[in-house]
Structure formats: C-alpha cells, structure tokens
Structure 1
Amino acid sequence: MDVLGLISNFIRVVEHGSIAAAARGKGMSPAAVSQSLSRLETHLGVRLISRTTRSMTLTESGKRYFEKVRHIPHDIDLASQAAALETKPQGPLCIATTAAFGRYVIAPLMPAFKASFPDIDVELISTDRNVDHRLEGIDVSIRIEAQLNDQLIARKIASLPFIFCAAPAYLARAGIPQTPEELSRHACLVFRYPTDGRFLPWTFKINGQPVNAKLNPQFISDDIDIIAKIAENGGGIARLASFIAQPLIDSGRLMPLFCDSDAESLPMNIYACVNERSALNSKVRAFIEFLETGM
C-alpha cells in the first residue's frame, strides 16, 4: 500500500475543500480519490472526513491527523530535490508511453535528449495496454487522463488540442458539419481504448459545460493511425490529436472542422507518472523537464 500517496490525496481533499476539486487537481476521477480516502481511513482505523452527497467536514481525528501530515509532501519534495542535485543523471531509464504519443512526439525528441544526457540509456516501451511500473521495471510512464489510477503519482506536463477533421473528398460528398449536433448525420471514425473497450468520447465545451457529441460510428479501431488513414482516404470524420492531424492538414490531405464554431474541443491532457515519490530521481526529472520543454 502506498501510504504516502493516500496521505497526499487526503491532504489535497482538505486543501481543495471537496473530493471533486482534489480529483481535478490530481488528474484523477472523484471515485478514485474517494476510494483512496477510504483506504487511508481503513488503514488508520478512524474516520477522517464525514461526507454526504452535499458536504464534507473533518472529524476531530481528521483535524489532528491533518495537522501532523500536512507538511509531509513538501518535506519529501525538498528531500528528493536535495538528493537529485547531488546525483548526475545517468544509468538506464525505462519509459512507457501510449503508442501514438511515443511514435509522433517522444521518438523524435530522443536524439536531442541523448545528446543532452549522454550517460542515460533509454528504453522506450510503446504500448496502449496497461503497464505495471514495479513488475516491468518502468521508471516513468506518459499517460492520458483516462489511463490514470490512484496507484500512480501523476504530474500534468502538457495539454494538446484535439482536431476534428476529414478529407476534402469526404466533405465534398457529405457536406461540412457546422455544429457538433450535425455529427450524428456523418460517418464518424471512433477510437476504442484497447485497455477497457470504451469509446474515446468526442467532448466539446459549450457555454462553459462539457458536452459529448452524439456519434454515428461507421468505423471503429483501437489504433489511432488506422483511424487517421481511413479519414485520409475519405472514410469519414476523425478526432485526432494535433500531433497526428496537423501534418495531414498542412499537406492538404485533411481539412479541420469547427474552426469558427463556439463549440470548443476539450484538449488531450498528458501526464508523467511514477509509482512513488522516491522514483523522481535525477534521470526521471531530467526526462520530464526535457519533455515539457520539447513540447
């Protein structure tokens, strides 16, 4: 059990004032944060927070515990930074990443990373399956929000736009949708998460609220490159990360949609994840900081 991780989640809940706000700050689901809090209470054998559907308050035990642990994450960060300053980044570094992000974003940056840190030897695992840091010897994983869990310490490193797009030939044949509501009348190319079979929702922000568009799936795949290739050849409308879509748009093979619409596509949030704070050693920090700068 990662007790430090459970404590960190408890502190965030108290500081943010709600489980939902703490979840947003950690890049986790509210359910995962609530489960983390329950595990900590079970571990301690006391109720820390009294919570209902409308409110939450610290118990007396919770108040005493919070005062004793609130400084722990800061102290650990200071200790990690002190250790990292004395250690030159070196040795093997195993990085796990989603297949598309590894192919289009991380791989092109690797030669420059190696030139900057010649004593780090990189192994890059590019896969869309769930990976286990401990069992597979992974130092750091790069994940999207849907892949996060409360066993990991996640740091948001980037927000990249999604682009709705289609081939000129498809748009000439089927017309250009002007609003997200019109997507239900178009051929939609939908990505399915390989890990749990869910569809990647097509989410817009409309009047400040997230809205999932109603889709008409004509093709479904768990490989985003296949989705892009079908779109490129006139198969329908795709929702692609900018690092995949933009080169195809620049070459004229795809056209972006909803550019002048009030409906804004929600971005893809990217996180660097480790399984515990002590894993944030000098070589992992060097990679995360390099990736943030490179993107």
Structure 2
Amino acid sequence: MRSNMLELMDIFVQVVELRSFTRAADALQLHRPAISKSVQQLEDALGVKLLHRTTRSLSVTVEGDEIYQRAKNLLSDVNDMMASYSLNQPPRGQLRIDASLALMHTILIPHLSEFQALYPQIEMVLTASDRLTDLVTEGVDCVIRLGELTDSSFVSRRVGDLQMVTCAAPSYLEKYGTPRTPDDLVYHKAVSFFSEHSREVQEWKFVMNGEVISRRPGSSIRVNNSDVLLSCGLSGLGMLHALRTALEPYIKTGRLTEVLSGYATVTKPVSILFPDRRYLPPKVRVFIEWFSELFAKNHQL
C-alpha cells in the first residue's frame, strides 16, 4: 500500500460527502487542483473510476460508492486506534479481563464501580474461570491469577499475596470431629481443588516449627471450580482449604467453622499476566496500575 493511501482516501471521502471539489478543498485547507489530483491518484492506484465529474455536476460511480463506504469505515477505525493510544486522550475501548472465580467474586467485582468512575469510556468484558487462559487465542487483554506461575510466555506482575484458611461446616465437624494439628488431617475427608491443566490436587501447606509442611487429606470430592468447592464445603461434604477472603463471610455467619487456627498457612500469590507488547494499550496499562494499587490498599498481609 502506498504510504499516502490513507490521505488519499480521506480526501476522497470529503469530496463524496461534500459533493464538491471546491468545498472539500476549503474543508481540508488545500488547493482545489491538489484535491483533483489526489482523487486521480486514488483511481490510478485502485484501477477503477470513482467519480463522474463534469463542469456542473459530480456523481459517484458504483465502484466509487463501495470504495467510499469501506474507506470511511477504515478511516474511522484508524482514528479510533489513534485516539485509544494517544496520551492526550482518556483510555477507551473494550477491555477483556479474565480472573479466577474467587478473585472475581471477592476483589474485582466489589470495587469495579470505582474503576468505571475513573475510566467511563472503557467497556469491561469479564470472563471468570479457574483454568489457564490463552490470552492471544482468546482475545483477553490481561488475566488475574492465583498461585505460582509456570507460564513464562507472558509478562507478569505480582501484586501481592492472600491468606489461606482451613475450615468445615458445623455438620461435618459434628460427624467427624475437629482436627487439632495438621497431622490429624489424614483422618479427615476434604473437598479438594485440582488444576484442570495439570490434574494435580492442591496441597494444603502449613508452617510447623518454622518449616513448611504439606498435608493432603483423603479426598471425598475433587473439583476444578471454586464455586463448586464452596458449595460442597457448605453442604458438609468435606473440609476446605481456600482463600480467607472468600470464606471469611461464611465463617462470620457460622456456616463454616475455622480449624487449625494456631498454625500459619502458606499464602497464595496473586499476579496479573498480559501479552509482551512493546506498546501496551492505555486501557490495559491503567487497569494494571489501578488493580495493583487496589490490592496493595485492601489486601496487605
């Protein structure tokens, strides 16, 4: 494509909409011969006649009308792109965010109105899952993930850590008793979370005598969805080991009872992943900064 093709298209669109070479010249602050020459250059480049012009009238050919419609849409897209990346314009456009279900429920959604108030021209598209997300093929701008990261093909920013808690429904504890130490978990049933990608069951990690230990109770149920995990735990199907921020409301109301509170748990890191781009779109950049500040302010350990 010729380097000035967009300029030629812009001139042609002005001529069609104003129905006059002279009025187009005035609008673009160019000489009339320059307008006529530009339209001729566009016709030569495309190999079609765009306008029927006489000394008294100007009309658009069938091919010219099609070119006009497509050129107008193209120029609109280019203008939107330039505005989206311009430092002088507020961030705008559609922003696709994917987050694990627990993080979506407990952190992002409760504060999302604050982000929308700051950036009203950004349209949010939210997807929630506990599986690995391919940012490129799924068209996601950034992903908020819980746990240690193994995929190095994307840029990641660790924003902080969240506490874990071990608990169970009162009905479960009445039936099976209450564990006093992490070693007692071997005698209990658990609702276990497994990674859909690796199929590995999440380990329950505690700190005993200054050392990190892993304990994995016998699984009564395995799930790959944090909402299902919570529902199973509330139903008394097994013990839970999950984010405190997700389970705390149920502990406060008595629907879940915390156990092993005398043993520190190993925290889970929270990170934002995004494609490795030289020029990060402003809408993505402001979201990453906003979420990082939000997490630091509300979830410091």
TM-score normalised according to structure 1 size: 0.66
Post-superposition Cα deviations, 1:199-223, rounded to whole Å, max 9, x if no partner, equal 1111122333322113211111112
Map 1:53-92; keep pairs closer than 5 Å. Answer: 88-92=90-94
Work out the percentage of aligned pairs sharing the same amino acid: 26
> How many residues are treated as equivalent by the alignment?
211
Structure 1 unaligned residues grouped into runs of 5+: 1-82
For 1:229, the equivalent position in structure 2 comes to 231
Structure 2 unaligned residues grouped into runs of 5+: 1-84, 296-301
For 1:168, the equivalent position in structure 2 comes to 170
For 1:287, the equivalent position in structure 2 comes to 287
Provide the rounded CA distance (Å) in 1 between the counterparts of 2:274 and 2:287: 12
Q: Does 1:198 align with 2:200?
A: yes
Moved more, 271-280 or 118-127: 271-280
For 1:276, the equivalent position in structure 2 comes to 276
Post-superposition Cα deviations, 1:152-204, rounded to whole Å, max 9, x if no partner, equal 11111121111100112222222211111100001111011122211111112
Provide the rounded CA distance (Å) in 2 between the counterparts of 1:279 and 1:150: 19
Provide the rounded CA distance (Å) in 2 between the counterparts of 1:268 and 1:279: 30
Residues 87, 282 of structure 1: 8 Å contact kept: no
Residues 166, 238 of structure 1: 8 Å contact kept: yes
For 1:252, the equivalent position in structure 2 comes to 254
**What secondary structure, in the 3-state scheme, does the structure 2 residue paired with 1:136 have?**
coil
**What secondary structure, in the 3-state scheme, does the structure 2 residue paired with 1:253 have?**
coil
**What secondary structure, in the 3-state scheme, does the structure 2 residue paired with 1:292 have?**
helix
Provide the rounded CA distance (Å) in 1 between the counterparts of 2:286 and 2:215: 39
Provide the rounded CA distance (Å) in 2 between the counterparts of 1:164 and 1:143: 21
State the one-letter code of the partner of 1:126.
Answer: A
Provide the rounded CA distance (Å) in 2 between the counterparts of 1:178 and 1:292: 37
Counterpart selection for 1:211 from 210, 213, 232 = 213
Q: Does 1:94 align with 2:59?
A: no
* Compared CA separation, residues 152 and 236, structure 1 to 2 (3 A): same
Quote the offset at 1:227 in angstroms.
1.9
* Compared CA separation, residues 119 and 272, structure 1 to 2 (3 A): same
Quote the offset at 1:145 in angstroms.
2.8
* Compared CA separation, residues 277 and 86, structure 1 to 2 (3 A): farther
Residues 181, 214 of structure 1: 8 Å contact kept: no
Provide the rounded CA distance (Å) in 1 between the counterparts of 2:238 and 2:129: 26
Post-superposition Cα deviations, 1:7-28, rounded to whole Å, max 9, x if no partner, equal xxxxxxxxxxxxxxxxxxxxxx
What is the CA RMSD across the aligned residues, in angstroms? 2.1
